[in-house]
Amino acid sequence: MPKTEVERLAAGVSRAIAKRRAACELTQEQVAERLGIGVEAVSRIERGVVLPTVVRLGELADIFECNIADLLTEVSSRATDQANHIARLLSKLGSADRAMVVEIIEKLTARLGDLDR
């Protein structure tokens, strides 16, 4: 994998981890304590300086009560992963709000598709 791709992946995973930590209302100190590592190590992961191992991703997923895939698919450039991420976001909404979001996405894709021509 080219270095720039690894850097992009690390940056995306770091954002997903930071977002999940904040959503769980945990501090970096609390996450570090649960992982048995220093706060600086958690900070380096969240800044994308260090790409966590699969084992560490599993530990983080346990702390955040999500799947490892959730931490990875949020940053994936694969259309199916992005669709799954959108589906998870939509599942948190009521039917009227889901319909509104789908309508917005339809309009955006039509508009952006026209721009690509």
| pLDDT single digits (tens) 64-92 | 999 898 888 777 677 887 888 888 889 99
Query: In the chain, which stretches have pLDDT less than 70?
Result: 1-3, 76, 116-117
Phi and psi angles of residue 24, each rounded to the nearest 5 degrees, phi first: -85, 0
- Give pTM, 2 decimals: 0.69
Separation of alpha carbons 112 and 59, rounded Å: 39
Burial degree of 60 (CB within 10 A; 0-12, 13-18, 19+): buried
Mean pLDDT for the chain overall = 89
Separation of alpha carbons 94 and 79, rounded Å: 24
